[in-house]
Structure 1
C-alpha cells in the first residue's frame, strides 16, 4: 500500500487544537553529575620511591601498579584502575616507610654508638677506640655489652 493513497479515518481527532503544537518554547536539559571521580595513579610518588633506596623493590612494585592504573584509566576501566591505584598507594606507603625507617635506625645506632664510645672514653678504659688492633673484634663486641 502506498502512503499517498492511504487516507486517514474521519473519526480521528488531533490532540491539540489546530495551529498550536504540543511543545512549549524551550527544551529540557537534565544535568547529571558523575559521582565517581577518576582514581589517582600516584606515578610521581612511585618514581620517587623507586629511585630512592627501594627496599625489597617496593617502590618498583608501586611503579608497576601506578602505570597499570594510568593505563586502565585511559582505557575507561575505572574499577580496575581504582584497584591498581589502591595497590600502588599501599606499596608507596610501605616503601616510604622503609625509606624513612632505615636511615633513622642507622642514625639512632650511630648516635648510641657514639654515646657509648664517649662514656667508655670518660671512664678511662683502654682500647675502646682500637677496632683494628689485636683484640679489635673483642673490643668492638665490648661496646655493645651494657
Structure 2
C-alpha cells in the first residue's frame, strides 16, 4: 500500500456521535432539444435563396443560446421557427436550382438551334 492508502486505512470510519448528513445535488440531464444548427448552416451555405438559410441560422443560434441558459420554452420556440425556415429554404432552394437548370438548358437549346 502507498502511504496515503495506509493512512486512510488507519483512520477508519468517522467516530462522531452526530448523525451523518448527506447532500443530494440534482443535475438536470441535457435535454434532447434539436436546434437544427447544422441544417441551418447547410442552407446558409448552399440553399440561401431569399436569405432564408441565414435567418434560419440566426434562429438556430438563438435556440442554442436559450437552451444553454435553461429556457427550454424559448429554445423550443426558436427551434420550431428555425425548422420551419429550414424547410422553406430547402424547398425553395431545390425549386430555384432545378428551375435555373431548366432555364439554362432551354437557353442553350435555343442558342444551339440558331
Instruction: Check whether TM > 0.5.
Output: yes
Q: Normalising by structure 1, report the TM-score.
A: 0.51
**Aligned ranges for residues 108-127 of structure 1 at < 5 Å?**
108-115=102-109, 121=113
Q: Normalising by structure 2, report the TM-score.
A: 0.64
Pairs aligned (count): 85
2:77 is the counterpart of 1:83: yes
**Which of 102, 106, 114 is residue 100 of structure 2 equivalent to?**
106
Please, which runs of 5 or more residues in structure 1 have no aligned partner? 1-33, 122-128, 130-146
Please, which runs of 5 or more residues in structure 2 have no aligned partner? 1-28
User: Matched residue of 2:32: which SS?
Assistant: coil
- The alignment's C-alpha RMSD in Å is 2.1
**Conserved 8 A contact 1:46-1:63:** yes
